[in-house]
Structures are given as structure tokens and as C-alpha cells.
Amino acid sequence: MEVPVEQKIPLGALAELLGGRLTDPAKAGEIISGVSSLDAAGPGQLAFLWKEDYAEAAKRSEAAAIVCREPLPGARAPQVLVDDPQAAMLTLLGQVHALRHPPQAPGVHPDASVAEGVHLGEDCSVGAGAVVERGARIGARSQIKGLAYVGRGVVVGEDCTIHPGAVLLDHVRLGDRVVIWSGAIVGRDGFGFVQDAENRHTRIPQVGGVVIEDDVEVGPLTTVDRGALEDTVLRRGVKIDAHCHVAHNCEIGENALLVGYARMGGSVRIGKNAYLLQDAGVSSGRSVGEGAILGTCCHALHKDVPAGATMGGCPARPAMQHRRIEVSLARLPEMRKQLHRLEKELAALRARD
């Protein structure tokens, strides 16, 4: 990653910024202009080592300097020694990101549509083409970016970012530091219908809401449905990737993580610190316990998942059992041939009698 010219910085100053110690003070004046991986880094670029598994790669690296915890004997590049290399990386990348993606200027763009009665907090911003409907409240320093939609009575907390094209439908409530990515739809009516005597489907009015607590992130093209009566709730610290679906009346516990294409039916309960990996699914009314992990393509269809369990397969099974089944499935063609051979041998033995 090449850092723009105005962000270039001497290695010695960078070491001070990260609270580290440079092992070769003679290199303090070398200019750092980018950040990259250990394998890809070259002259003028910084690399990070936070797992000892990659120590040999760090020693071979062509980086201008390596940020790490302990000295690396035999490394060609000088090192910046810090207590926590991963935290140092996040600090540096956070500053680079802030420079590359500055916030919108406070205020309402002339091409935005903001209805009467909207409360705009201090230093918040509304971008070009964004729509904010009557009764909405936008907290201090929050950004409603271009072409985003904020419905009637929506509450957006402080320091939130609603990215271009994101949709917050009526009466959704967001805490502080919430990020809603482009194309996400929050507050759609849940998928609830009843069938009449003539088998026609009639929508059940969904009068609940969506409550999203502090520090939650909702990925692009993800949908979060409002509840039928009670609210759908995303607790503090939940992170949701792209293309996920949270159905009506679900509750996602604190710091739970939903990876791309994870989805669930209505009234699901996900415990705090649980993980739903790629394409995992949870059937309506089921629960996933605290700290549990549903592996890729794992579907909890018929049973609740206990706390701390690691599950795989469809339907969900304990991960070790799922692995044994997968190994056995791979042997089925061979086992089928063996079975046919044994059946022939048994038939021959019976014929002799």
C-alpha cells in the first residue's frame, strides 16, 4: 500500500508515534512511504510481525523496517520494538485511513432533502441526495452520506456513519458509533403472512422496531427486519458482514460476529461472542449459545446450539462428528464396491450349502 506524499514520515518519527524503539538509530532519517505485508514490502515500506510463526519471513523481508515485539537476530531490516505489534498496526492504519477518507464537512448539502422537525446534532453532516424524513434525530458528528435514506422517527446516535445508499426505515433506533454500509436495509417489515380460506397470503402488519446498540457494524447489502410486535435487537459490539439477513424479532448478543451470507429465520437468539461463519444459517425459533461457533455452511435447523459448542454440517452436528462423517462420505464409493463383493462372496458360500 503506497501512502500519499503528504503522509510520508521519517522512520524515527514513526517509531515515536507508535511508542516503540528503533534498533538501528542510524536509520531514523529513512523515509517511510507505505505499509505492506512481510512478503510484499520493499524499500520505503513498513511491515508488521505479531505472530512468531512468521519470524523467518520477517528476517527475509525487503521492508525498510519491521514493527515487532522482540529483536530479530539475522534480519536485514531494522526493527521498531513495541509491546503490541498488532495494536501498533491498527494505530498506524487508522491514521492513514482517516487521512484517506476524511469525514464530510458538517452541515446539510444543498442537494439533500431534510424535512421539517428533524433534529441535527452538533457537527453532523447530510450529504448530497440524502433524505432525512420528519421526526428523525441525528446525533452529534454523525454522517449521513450521499443518497442515504433516514425514515420518519429514526434515531441515529453520535459519531455514526450511514454510507451512501444505506436505508434506515421508519422508527429504527441506532446507538453511538454505529456504521451502516452501502445497500444495507434496516427496518424492513418482517416476512410474516397468514393464509386465508382461499389460500391467499395476507401480510401481518409488523409494528415492532429495530434497536441497534453502540459500536455495531452492519455490512453492505445486509437486511435487518423489524419485529412483528417486539423489537429486533442487535446488542453492543455486534459485527455483521455483507449479504447477511437478520429476520424479525431476532436478538443478536453482544460482540457476536456474522460473516458473509450468514442468515436466520424469525425469533432466533444468538448468544454473546458467538460466531456464524460464511453461509451459516439458523432456523426460526432456534438459539445459538454464548461463545458457540457455527462453521461455514453449517445450518442449525432442528436443535438449539449449546453455549461454547463448535458445530459443522447440515443439519448442525458437533464439529468432530461432522468431520468423521465427511471422511466416511469420501470413502462411500469404495465401501459400496466392497459391500457388493462381500454380497457376491456370501451368495457363493450359501450356494455351496
pLDDT given at position 7: 66
Q: What is the dihedral of CA 236, 239, 242, 247, to 10 degrees?
A: -40
Q: Alpha-carbon distance 97 to 112, whole Å? A: 26
Set of cell numbers at residue 178: 454505529
C-beta of residue 156 within 8 angstroms of C-beta of residue 142: yes
pTM of the complete model:
0.87
C-beta of residue 187 within 8 angstroms of C-beta of residue 172: yes
Identity at 106, one-letter amino acid code: P
Above 70 in pLDDT, residue 248? yes
299 catalytically annotated: no
Q: Is the dihedral of CA 86, 91, 95, 101 positive or negative?
A: positive
Q: Alpha-carbon distance 295 to 197, whole Å? A: 41
How far apart, in Å, are the Cα atoms of 250 and each of 125, 208, 286? 31, 11, 10
- Supply angle C-alpha 232, 147, 138, rounded to 5: 55
Q: What is the pLDDT of residues 193-239, one digit of tens each?
A: 999 889 999 998 999 999 999 999 999 999 999 999 999 999 999 99
- For 296-308, the DSSP string reads TT-EE-SSPBPTT
Q: Alpha-carbon distance 290 to 287, whole Å? A: 10
| Average pLDDT over every residue of 14-43 | 93
> Which 3 state secondary structure label does DSSP give 195?
strand
Average per-residue pLDDT for the chain: 94
- Catalytic member of 248, 299, 322, 340: 248
C-beta of residue 132 within 8 angstroms of C-beta of residue 151: no
Locus of grid cell 520477517: 58
